[in-house]
Structure 1
């Protein structure tokens, strides 16, 4: 809803007043030298390590920077983080004080993230006051207002504890399992530690004492490694309980001694005193500034009393002028009222039009998601049957036809994947991961996968890689490889008897912050000046003639542009007709200087002996059942078939299988729900999700349900067999070693 100018005039003084109060509150002799984000990150880290005094001081510095920059949104963030820190000290009055300060500023600006955090804090307060229903309602509202990953993970944590209190243990376990494998940029280790603590509590309640102790031990190890003091204390508490339940009394005694040591330590006592002293000092300073502000107002009122007589004379003259203007103002006011009514009507019309546009976009996304998902199921039959027929020694003419069929199937699959990918980006359902990888290895794998296409065009791919780039980086290698693959694939398509060059250079490195330059160039047909502006739009390939000659959907560069947007980067182009093209961009990512050993990005493919394995196939499509069963039979694997989730649970309970291949989208109960039920009585059998993944699917949900791995349909046979081997044989080796 739009705010009219009159409303802004009345609310503006309130914003200025809040900023003025903040300036008095945070005024100190020293001026912070670090950027605001650094102080906020420090405050988050100190708070998680239970160093509340340092967290408060960092927030004080952050607020001073926000005041200096006149950044209202940043000041709102500071007030919210103050509220969260004081909530950890159980000082609810102070929490509500800062919460109210943020609320006053939020009334006058559009700030979805600020509104979401505001609801989140209110929900946590309600949860602490044992109002679980109201808390969940507020947390749901927070999720609707903003999709920030860190906030969403913290909401999952609070919801997990609410489910735990309500004895909804399956729901609580699902939330905590999701957080164990979280990819949060800011609090990955802290959230995983809290998740293990939550899981330990769930298993204590459900009397699964071994699982409870395993999770408490993992929580303790992570908490000790990262200095999470409160979680060290809590993990020792849980270990004392679980070891006693397991009759491991020596270990229970050690945990209880650790607990007493932590509770009675001088460090702990001094820590609490220091935290309360700092917290109270911040409150005291603020109240002192408020008193000074009131004294200043009293002095101003006293001075104004001495001028009251002169004011009375001036007022009489002023009233005479006002009387003359009253009629004119009245008429102007009537005109304004009519104008406001007209503006309100137009605003309502715009709101309706916006809602209709949003609904149309959602309908388009859902339609494309459904179509792309439904196409995958019959496409699985096409690619699967083609693979089986090619292995049955067809004659030369049949083999040629089957290869053409396989090419068409792969082409159609790539097209469907492109549509689904664009759809996910448009629907804001794609987020970059933050995991460790080796950039050179990723690039070599991309180039190796495209060498066959290069050979067909008699084109050479050259990698010019700067060896000074750190070997261990933190980002999303999957999305980065997709960007490079699309750019190199695009270059190969338009280059024959030539060269495609991948250039990767280190621009700068400051501690763990690394800037890298990427370029993919070719000496192909080039792009005309008039087409360069639209080349990154969907389904654009320069011209209809180019599309007919070279094929493709024109979505590759659109995906590149959208994926780079997730990294706050931008694709750029220079090109000349009949000379060639170069696409280039820069990425700012983190390095891991402390790691020395090289970690492979992907497991080396192995040959496994499948003879004698017995596997359960869970699949509702009859054709897919036949194809999957035949693919297993070719490797000497016997199998049973379940046509829905209910049958899968029954068969898994009545038989012993080496693995379960679980379709996700089925009538009745879904594959992830069936997996949750199976895991209640069978925690060890590998379960591999086979899914024609759709817009709303999340790999984290599959893993949280209890799946060991995910394979998307239609899949390459070699990937299918590799996943089965890894999860059956490598898991056995890992379990026997532990």
Structure 2
């Protein structure tokens, strides 16, 4: 979108100096120097207010808002644009009025998804530009209107504006608009299914965009070109263009620049507070609303904490139960046969207990995680709330705890089989480092990585189990280290045929482990040092690591000294086969998000789950219908057509398996995804026999659900569960 920030000229010396500062802020913004631009704009605002110059105040707010828009701070950008417009309306300068209305139109159309209100602002901008005969501003605003209509898929309304900018580009356009002009033509011809014409325009836009310093329009050209290529079935080139789009956006959105600029933004907000003229009644009202939200967050946090304590109590009871059974077996040795039967029964009960508890916990966890995300989406002002952050962390910690218990149970029952997948070890370790950055930051630690360059780029092995080992080891080191470092080191120590033996060292300079405790730490539920410091955890992490390494035919050793840190060492053999690696990589399918609007049916008897699942689906612009029973699902498919069905398993009267069987008997072949809190391994066979196409476990990442839906609807892997 094109922001219109004009610069006026005056013969007055002091006013001219202020305008020169405004020009400096504009130039800094064009170079994405947000901190410098905001600092200068803040200074201009102070001078303008001192002079009581409404025009200069409006220009200052326009520049401040443009910075926040570039940093994707949409709410702040809209606030400052409207504040600037309020001052501009006090002046007789139609140029600044046109500029601010144009920029507010950009916010509503492209950020707030309110096309009608955005176009109203654009039309106001056109009125002012036409009044002063500013052809350049008219051209930019009409280009934005065409883009907004195309962005929403309304090519019929956008076509007259495209015709205008095509006709007048040579007179009023220029290098700053030509890339967008070509891209808009490409979007139009893509919609008209004239793919060859569209492709020429996109390629021309990309070529021109590579020759200018401002790369934002070039990134959008790559994005729209990818959509065309996807429609043509050229998924590889579409994927490459999306990679280029992401790369350019990443280079533009420099997190350090944004972070420093946010500091200046805070100062701007402080200035605003000093100048605010809100009444005391409004302040009291806002405080009451904030207090009410805080109370809600505290209640939710207490609920989550209670669930965590209940789980820990159940885990403790389960551990005591097992110890008691072992003691009974030793005492009653003469009754070995009877004791063996009791032990088998106890093991079965434990598995059933873990499975039941996991299912019963995942269902409310789905609600906690979902409602937390809904609060963040619907109440942006709570994004920085420590209570909401604590709630979200507690929910994730509880989910991790449930998964740890299930993991131990699966290992003990020998239900884990290692897979052979191609993966990049460096990428996996770096991804783990990023995912653990929150723990590292909370303990003020640094994570260092050292990878032997002789290790091949792609290895073959079970990357999921490998990642679990590294995550558990590094997170354990971070928890017992403060103001220190955790080093991850990988060295190639031996090659036998295709097997590459890689030695891993996880080293920290934390509290260390006493020699008498070093053998205990790999036992379940053991936590050394609990008496002195409250380290979070259940004592399952290192036990899981040891057992997973046994699956890799490996062992783990450690060296440690109290107060001098700990080093864990283990070796894993991965295969290296360039031919097989190439075959596996070529089989990887590119997951591109579809532009189609699919109609989804949700079958779930839980009202909270219905609400959360509907929010997730509708947020992705899919249509959603919800029924609360299997019978209702059988009735609604007779009157409506759906692209995919999300089926809960545990429902009264008729469960998800039986409902799916009856759908298939009626001839309904719509793909069905089981949306359940059961462990996948427990229901996969029954799901297949019932006609269910795939399974996803609650709570889940929305991206995983939509990837699964796209794969099923485009007939990728639809005949087998993944």
What TM-score results when the alignment is normalised by the length of structure 2?
0.48
User: Comparing both chains, which one has the higher relative contact order based on Cα–Cα distances under 8 Å and sequence gaps of 6 or more?
Assistant: 1
What TM-score results when the alignment is normalised by the length of structure 1?
0.47
